[in-house]
Chains A and B, each alone.
Chain A
């Protein structure tokens, strides 16, 4: 399993600058629940919770961190298809946004990623404590071995409002054009 994928890019389409609103960029940047999905050649879906996430200030690039050992099928599917869907959701408010792309870059996590992961963990602890899940629970839920971590980077091509309710799934009209 040890890294066959570093630096590899799959898929063909490019990201769409301006797709995400400042509000959604801020939501993703604040460190909220992050779930990553893909699918295999037979269109069977795979998924896992990320243990970290970050976004560039312009929203053009998103990175999510996964434990390889917990994401075997998901990583195989991402490498094979490039198709990725990620939902970001704020546990306390259920505000959520889903982004999708058809091309993703994989690399091993590096020492330089540590501050980012720490920041994410603190944010999630802050989110979950008030709803009854203490830091010990959150740290276990987001536990990671540096050598086991992989980083997926992608440029979001589509985005959808995912806040629960009848409008969940509505496509966000970014300046990059309609979905």
Chain B
């Protein structure tokens, strides 16, 4: 029979049932203790949380050999693992991922303060024994995950715009994985914060809302470039974005976009944030949450990591591609924008390029500067058709750097316009081309 591997027993490493650890002191006295979770680090290593300097920890520092007893949460089968302590990590992806998860578990049990993670103790797995005894039949393996990831990947590969790529992932999360609440956030590399470009399941889309790098599960997943998955959590957890601290007002341009509320659930029980990487860079975060406990398993995490990887690659490629002007095919067929008698005052605040439509906040930053340029050209010269390339070359917009995702800014602007009632819209007319539709008289005003 094939030896049991750590991957075979991943359901035991989800923190559903506490595990047990036996250690031995230098004088030969054994010790046995409960562990809230044994963490899967990689196929040959597990990690245990170091929270207190207890007997187990004293013992393993003196004698690195320990034995774990795991219980399968579905079959009730036991597994014994011979493990050897190697080292302790106090920073980095695994540590932050465990810390986030532990904070969720601890706040769940009402002991958030005492459960601060001091370190992640890494152990090598020397042997795994399936303990003889009765077991319930294992539930059938979850089928179709590879298939759905494949379909998502195929659609992403066929996507010719960032918009379509984002929609593909959002649709897969909703229709194929049955996830009720999801968001995609992209990284602003200059300001080092994430902005929401797509969401599903919330009363307000929250498109344009911002999160600091390193803050909460989303910010931590981006900063540490690691998936963060919390299976139990409460709104007491500092990882919950719904409980937000206002950033100290240093200068207007650095203030988070608090005009647009973060859309997340007020009382999530499960959350997962997966970084989108491409060529070693963080481009954004895929985020899902649920009011149910234990909603996202390691299998969901595996699927989201694959999807986030494909979306990252697509985002990166389409960013460059979107600047190539392609002949517009939609120009002739695009319906004219309906014109009303309405009058709209558009005000720009120069300090941070924030834009207000009839005193209602719309957008700020790079997307605000783009919008202002479009309206300006429209008013001065009656222009309605524009290309990504000209925006990139326009110094007045002040795109932070060449790597900035212009296409993402346009999507943000387009979606923010769709969410407000005044007849001003942006429509794509071809690759790297779009049209401004203004169905009202506009008056431009500026303030400092």
A-side residues, CB < 8 A to B, are 35-39, 43-49, 67, 69-70, 81, 83-87, 89, 94, 96, 98, 100, 102, 136-137, 140-141, 143, 160, 162, 164-166, 168-169
Find out whether the CB atom of B20 lies under 8 angstroms from the CB atom of A70: no
Residue of A45, A49, A98 with most chain B CB atoms under a 10 A cut-off: A45
A87 touches B34 (CB 8 A): yes
A84's partner among B30, B63, B76 (CB-CB below 8 A) is B30
In the complex the two chains form, is A83's CB within 8 Å of B28's CB? yes
Interchain CB contact under 8 A, A143 and B133? yes
What residues of chain B lie closer than 8 Å to A47, measured between beta carbons?
20, 22, 32, 67, 69, 80
User: Could you list 23 examples of A-B contacts with CB < 8 Å?
Assistant: A35-B32, A37-B30, A37-B32, A37-B67, A38-B22, A39-B22, A39-B30, A43-B65, A44-B67, A45-B22, A45-B67, A47-B69, A67-B133, A81-B28, A85-B22, A87-B32, A89-B34, A100-B30, A140-B134, A162-B33, A164-B36, A168-B33, A169-B52
Smallest CB-CB A-B distances: 3 pairs: A45-B22, A37-B22, A37-B32
| 4 more CB-based (< 8 A) A-B contacts, given A85-B22, A96-B34 | A35-B69, A44-B82, A49-B69, A140-B76
Give the residues in chain A near B75, CB-CB below 8 Å: 140
Which residues on A sit within 8 Å (CB–CB) of B22?
A: 37-39, 45-47, 85
Interface string of B50-72 (1 = CB under 8 A from A): 00101100000001011101010
Q: Which residues of B sit under 8 angstroms from A102, Cβ to Cβ?
A: 29
B78 within 8 A of A: yes
| Contact call B78/A45, Cβ cutoff below 8 A | no
**Which residues of B sit under 8 angstroms from A94, Cβ to Cβ?**
34, 109
Q: Judge whether B382 is part of the interface by a CB distance below 8 angstroms.
A: no
Instruction: Give every chain A residue within 8 A of B28 (Cβ-Cβ).
Output: 39, 43, 81, 83
B65, B67, B133, B135 — most chain A CB neighbours (10 Å): B133
B134 touches A37 (CB 8 A): no
Closest to A91 in B: B18
Give, as a whole number of angstroms, the nearest-CB distance from A45 to chain B. Answer: 4
Instruction: Tell me if A35 and B67 are in contact (CB < 8 A).
Output: no
Distance in Å: Cβ of B331 to nearest Cβ of chain A: 60
A67, A162, A164, most chain B CB atoms within 10 A: A164
Q: Residue of B at shortest CB range from A45? A: B22
A140 to B75: give the CA distance in the assembly, Å.
Answer: 8
Given known pairs A39-B28, A44-B24, the reply for A143 and B67 (CB within 8 Å) is no
Minimum Cβ distance to chain B for residue A96 (Å): 7
Nearest residue (CB) in B for A84 is: B30
Chain A residues with CB below 8 A from B1, complex form = none
A46: chain B residues at CB < 8 Å are 22, 67
- A136 / chain B contacts, CB cutoff of 8 Å: 136
Q: Which residues of B contact A100 (CB under 8 A)?
A: 29-31
Q: Say how far B292's CB is from chain A's closest CB, in angstroms.
A: 13
Question: What residues make up the interface of B, taking CB atoms closer than 8 Å to A?
Answer: 20, 22-24, 26, 28-34, 36, 52, 54-55, 63, 65-67, 69, 71, 75-76, 78, 80, 82, 109, 111, 114, 131-136
A44 touches which one: B29, B65, B111 (CB < 8 A)?
B65
- Distance between Cα atoms of A42 and B36 in the complex (Å): 28
Which of chain A's residues has its CB closest to B126's CB? A44
Closest Cβ–Cβ distance, residue B131 to chain A (whole Å): 5
Given A39-B24, A67-B133, the answer on whether A49 and B78 have CB atoms closer than 8 Å is yes
Q: Which listed residue (A85, A162, A165) contacts B30, Cβ 8 A? A: A85
Residue among B33, B52, B67 with max Cβ neighbours from chain A (10 Å): B33
Are A38 and B30 closer than 8 Å at their CB atoms? yes
Closest chain-A Cβ to B69's Cβ sits at a distance in Å of 5
In this complex, the member of B23, B32, B136 whose beta carbon has the largest number of chain A beta carbons within 10 angstroms is B32
How many angstroms between the C-alpha atoms of A86 and B32 in the bound complex?
A: 7
Q: In the assembled complex, how far is the CB of residue B24 from the closest CB belonging to chain A, in whole angstroms?
A: 4
Determine which of B23, B30, B54, B131 lies in contact with A83 in the assembled complex, contact meaning CB atoms within 8 Å: B30
Please, which residues of chain A bring their CB within 8 A of the CB of B32? 35-37, 45, 47, 85-87, 98
| Closest partner residue, chain B, to A48 (CB atom) | B69
Nearest CB of chain B from residue A5's CB, rounded to whole Å: 18
- CA A37 to CA B65, docked complex, whole Å: 14
Taking a contact as CB atoms under 8 Å apart, the answer to whether B34 and A141 are in contact is no
Q: Tell me if B33 and A69 are in contact (CB < 8 A).
A: no
Complexed CA–CA distance, A164 and B114 (Å): 10
Neighbour of A70 across the interface among B24, B31, B54, B132, CB < 8 A = B132
Residues of A within 8 A of B34 (CB): 35, 87, 89, 94, 96, 162, 164
* Complex: A37 Cα to B24 Cα, angstroms: 9
Contacts A87-B34, A140-B76; A48 near B131 (Cβ below 8 A): yes
Taking the closest CB of chain A, its distance from the CB of B65, in whole angstroms, is 5
A86-B132 Cα distance, complex, nearest whole Å: 21
Q: Which residues of A contact B111 (CB under 8 A)?
A: 164-165
Question: Do B69 and A98 have beta carbons less than 8 Å apart?
Answer: no
CA distance A38 to B52 in the complex (A): 23
A94 to B75, CA, bound (A): 23
